Amino acid sequence: MAESAKTKIDKDDVQALQDTIYVIGGKWKLPIIYSICCGNKRFTDIERSIPGITTRMLSRNLKELEDNMLITRKVDPDFTTIIEYEFTEHAKAYGNLILQMIDWGKQHKQLIIKENRLQKQKTPIF
């Protein structure tokens, strides 16, 4: 009984975190979500708004986001070349998180730069 408190954690929570990262993980998911957040709806607009993304990556990631019901893909009934991506209601509950991640990322960058920790990184972020 004198055993030091072995803290257990909720396995469901671990699973939830892994699910979350599975859905929004990878290099492009958050930027794409953010771009749509900002009002971009069409493929080429989203593509142009995100520096460095390729059509292939955009296409794949849009599909995955659609599979995970974060966005919907709508084809214009008259002009089938007009396709618009929009958030689902479910995804909108997520917007706040994104803003926080942006904030956190910026703060983090400042910190890392200030502390001159760049050398220790195998794969520097910046």
Partner DNA sequence: CAGTATCCCTGTGGATACTG
Partner DNA sequence: CAGTATCCACAGGGATACTG
Site residues (vs DNA, CB under 7 A): 26-28, 42-45, 52-57, 59, 61-63, 73, 81-83, 85, 123
Nearest to 24 by CA among 40, 37, 9: 37
94 binds, among DNA, a copy of itself, none (CB under 5 to 8 A by kind): a copy of itself
Specify the residue, 1 or 125, whose C-beta has the smaller distance to DNA.
125
Rounded CA gap, 113 and 124, in Å?
11
Residue type, position 30, single letter: L
Contacting positions for a copy of itself (CB under 8 A): 5-9, 11-27, 29-31, 34-35, 38-40, 45, 48-51, 67-69, 90, 93-94, 96-98, 100-109, 111-112, 115, 117, 120-122, 125-126
Give the ranges where the chain is alpha helix by DSSP (H): 11-24, 29-37, 43-49, 55-67, 89-92, 95-114
Rounded CA gap, 41 and 103, in Å?
24
83 binds, among a copy of itself, DNA, none (CB under 5 to 8 A by kind): DNA
